Amino acid sequence: MADETDEVAARIAGLAAERVPHRGTVAGETRIRELGLDSVALMDLIMAVEDQFDLIFPLERLSEVETVDDLARVVRTLVQERMA
């Protein structure tokens, strides 16, 4: 599970880094707020995550997300729920 966890977080970090190229490295502990994304860019990131993982991200789940790792945790949960 750790490898899967790392892979999901790495893929999301990559998607985030594409949206803030001036920032450099985006890691799991990076706070989404610190990326400097405006509301449109944040929604673009969420849509990219939805496309990457073939899921629908309920907007009410955004309240659970502070870091890239938090976003990865929610994505893993949504993927598992979809597979159940």
Residues of the domain holding 19: 2-83
- Confidence check: pLDDT of 60 > 80: yes
Give the pLDDT confidence of 44-56 residue by residue, as tens digits.
Answer: 999 999 999 999 9
Could you give the CA distance from residue 11 to residue 44 in angstroms, rounded to a whole number? 15
- Confidence check: pLDDT of 2 > 80: no
Candidates 68, 65, 3; CA nearest to 29 is 68
State the total domains in the chain.
1
- Confidence check: pLDDT of 41 > 80: yes
Give the pLDDT confidence of 69-78 residue by residue, as tens digits.
Answer: 999 999 999 9
First to last CA, the chain: 17
Could you give the CA distance from residue 60 to residue 40 in angstroms, rounded to a whole number? 17
